[in-house]
């Protein structure tokens, strides 16, 4: 936020100086305003640069700061203002990019499970997820997040694991099936036995890595910074020679202004912000600018296909009715029965049937029992599991 303040200060002083110089013709007053503010900002940036140097790093900003001081010293205050605008604008853009990345990562932290329903002798009690121990019996209600890793001991439901695996299709979980923390239970309650504490579970492991990355963020390294030392020394040498040959200190300031890599200082964070914004719109979270930089040297990419390089949306491509039923009749029956179901498949049946034929609205049902709608003939909708029959009476 400090860099935002500096940028606004530069913009504010620039506006005041422009009004004084071109609105009231007070060129001397405009020079004083810019010189005082520019000197203060240059001192603050110089102090930051000293701290950077003490940490063993060296940036190209030192050349730009020297250019600001030199231009102010020789009275070229408008040039100093432009360089300051470039410097503070680039720093503010980098802060914006870092803040945007943290905001996207924070959504992951906010989704971390915090409570669990533990089955005790006195009944079902809500406890903090950190208090859950290995061997505890937990109940995961419909639509809730699985708090810790465990194994199903009772119940059968469809569990959405997209937050961990990227797989958009819910996975059927029954007795002895493993559950991962952070996944979302379907429309049936599950009873599970805890196999890992919260600290060792899948989702908490991801959260821990995110927190570590925030605590130790990779600083964005501009291309110019990699060659900062030799470039700065050469620029100082050329500027000194120009001053010595011409006898005019303005030449020294001019060389430093020309050598200041303002386009690089601005171009790098702008590209960073644009890249992060574009990827976030497609559901991709980029931790830092260093991550984007490293992509330039990547030779191989490995993707989890579903939901990553595909849209994760299912489509009905073919319907094969069994005699005596027609395709439109089969779609009508399936879509009518499951129009309000929470399962992933019925939504696509209904969408496909709307394109092909009409369907009759009925109450929300789950095709694991008997459903009755007043009409004349009987139809049996077969389940893939023979012990889970479903019949629709029409």
Tens digit of pLDDT for each residue in 39-68? 888 888 888 878 777 776 666 677 888 888
What pLDDT does residue 157 have?
A: 92
* Span of 26-30, 276-280, 332-336, 356-360 with lowest mean pLDDT: 356-360
Q: Does position 28 have pLDDT exceeding 50, yes or no? A: yes
**Average pLDDT over the chain, rounded to whole?**
76
- Catalytic one of 130, 131, 187, 304: 304
Enumerate residues 6+ apart whose C-beta is below 8 A from 367. 337, 338, 341, 381, 383, 390
Does residue 27 share a domain with residue 88?
yes
Give the strand pairing for 370-372 and 390-393.
parallel
Q: What is the pLDDT of residues 122-159, one digit of tens each?
A: 888 999 998 999 999 999 999 899 999 999 999 999 99
What pLDDT does residue 93 have?
A: 76
The rounded distance, in Å, linking the Cα atoms of 72 and 151 is 71
What pLDDT does residue 285 have?
A: 66
391: β partners: 370, 380
Q: Per mean pLDDT, which of 108-112, 124-128, 307-311 is the most reliable?
A: 124-128
Q: Is residue 215 part of a domain?
A: no
What pLDDT does residue 46 have?
A: 80
Q: Categorize the per-residue pLDDT at 165 as very low, low, confident or very high, splitting at 50, 70 and 90.
A: confident
DSSP 364: -
Q: Is residue 26 part of a domain?
A: yes
Q: Categorize the per-residue pLDDT at 362 as very low, low, confident or very high, splitting at 50, 70 and 90.
A: very low
Q: Does position 32 have pLDDT exceeding 70, yes or no? A: yes
Does residue 202 share a domain with residue 157?
yes
The rounded distance, in Å, linking the Cα atoms of 160 and 307 is 13
Does residue 197 share a domain with residue 168?
yes
Q: Categorize the per-residue pLDDT at 386 as very low, low, confident or very high, splitting at 50, 70 and 90.
A: very low
Does residue 131 share a domain with residue 98?
no
Does residue 49 share a domain with residue 86?
yes
End-to-end CA distance of the chain: 66
Residue 160 maps to which CATH number?
A: 2.70.150.10
Does residue 14 share a domain with residue 77?
yes
Q: Does position 69 have pLDDT exceeding 80, yes or no? A: yes
The rounded distance, in Å, linking the Cα atoms of 363 and 129 is 37
Q: Is 161 helix (H, G, I), strand (E, B) or coil?
A: coil
Q: What is the pLDDT of residues 316-355, one digit of tens each?
A: 777 788 888 887 777 777 777 666 665 556 655 556 555 5
**Residue where one domain finishes, among candidates 277, 296, 315:** 296
What is the total count of domains within the chain?
3
Please indicate whether residue 91 is annotated as part of the active site.
no
Does residue 241 share a domain with residue 97?
yes
Share of the chain above pLDDT 70, in %: 66
What pLDDT does residue 19 have?
A: 93
Q: Does position 111 have pLDDT exceeding 60, yes or no? A: yes
Q: Categorize the per-residue pLDDT at 383 as very low, low, confident or very high, splitting at 50, 70 and 90.
A: very low
Q: Categorize the per-residue pLDDT at 187 as very low, low, confident or very high, splitting at 50, 70 and 90.
A: confident
Q: Does position 299 have pLDDT exceeding 70, yes or no? A: yes
Does residue 371 share a domain with residue 331?
yes
Q: Is residue 170 part of a domain?
A: yes
Residue 95 has which token pair? 């802060």
* Span of 81-85, 88-92, 152-156 with lowest mean pLDDT: 88-92
Q: What is the pLDDT of residues 203-247, one digit of tens each?
A: 777 767 666 655 554 454 555 566 677 888 898 999 999 999 999
What pLDDT does residue 231 have?
A: 82
Does residue 256 share a domain with residue 384?
no
Residue 230 lies in domain? 2-107+220-296
The rounded distance, in Å, linking the Cα atoms of 279 and 317 is 30
Alpha-carbon dihedral angle through residues 124, 130, 135, 137, given to the nearest 10 degrees: 20
Does residue 124 share a domain with residue 86?
no
Does residue 127 share a domain with residue 98?
no
Does residue 101 share a domain with residue 27?
yes
């Amino acid at each position: 936020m400090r860099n935002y303040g500096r940028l606004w200060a530069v913009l504010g002083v620039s506006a005041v100086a422009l009004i004084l110089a071109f609105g009231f013709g007070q060129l001397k007053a405009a020079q004083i305003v810019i010189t005082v503010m520019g000197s203060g900002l240059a001192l603050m940036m110089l102090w930051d640069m000293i701290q950077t140097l003490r940490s063993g790093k060296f940036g190209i900003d030192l050349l730009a700061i020297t250019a600001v001081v030199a231009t102010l010293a020789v009275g070229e205050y408008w040039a100093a203002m432009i360089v300051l605008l470039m410097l503070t604008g680039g720093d503010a853009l980098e802060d914006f990019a870092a803040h945007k990345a943290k905001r996207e990562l924070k959504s992951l932290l906010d989704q971390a499970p915090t409570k669990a329903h533990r089955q005790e002798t006195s009944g079902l009690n809500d406890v903090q997820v950190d208090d859950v121990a290995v061997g505890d019996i937990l109940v995961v209600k419909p639509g809730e997040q699985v708090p810790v890793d465990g194994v199903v001991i009772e119940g059968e439901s469809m569990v959405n694991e997209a937050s961990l695996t990227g797989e958009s299709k819910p996975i059927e979980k029954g007795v002895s099936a493993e559950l991962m923390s952070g996944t979302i239970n379907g429309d049936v309650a599950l009873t599970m036995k805890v196999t890992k504490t919260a600290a060792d579970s899948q989702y908490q492991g991801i959260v821990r890595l995110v927190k570590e990355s925030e605590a130790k963020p990779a600083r964005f390294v501009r291309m110019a910074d990699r060659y900062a030392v030799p470039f700065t020394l050469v620029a100082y040498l050329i500027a000194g020679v120009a001053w010595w040959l011409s006898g005019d200190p303005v030449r020294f300031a001019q060389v430093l202004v020309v050598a200041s890599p303002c386009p690089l200082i601005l171009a790098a964070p702008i590209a960073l912000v644009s890249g992060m914004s574009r990827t976030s719109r497609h559901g991709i979270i980029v931790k830092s600018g260093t991550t984007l930089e490293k992509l330039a040297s990547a030779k191989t990419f490995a993707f989890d296909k579903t939901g990553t390089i595909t849209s994760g949306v299912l489509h009905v491509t073919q319907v094969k009715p069994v005699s005596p039923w027609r395709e439109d009749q089969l779609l009508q029956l399936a879509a009518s029965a499951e129009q309000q179901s929470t399962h992933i498949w019925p939504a696509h049946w209904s969408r496909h049937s709307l394109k092909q034929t009409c369907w009759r609205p009925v109450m929300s049902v789950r095709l694991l029992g008997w459903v009755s709608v007043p009409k004349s003939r009987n139809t049996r909708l077969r389940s893939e599991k023979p012990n889970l029959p479903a019949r629709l009476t029409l």
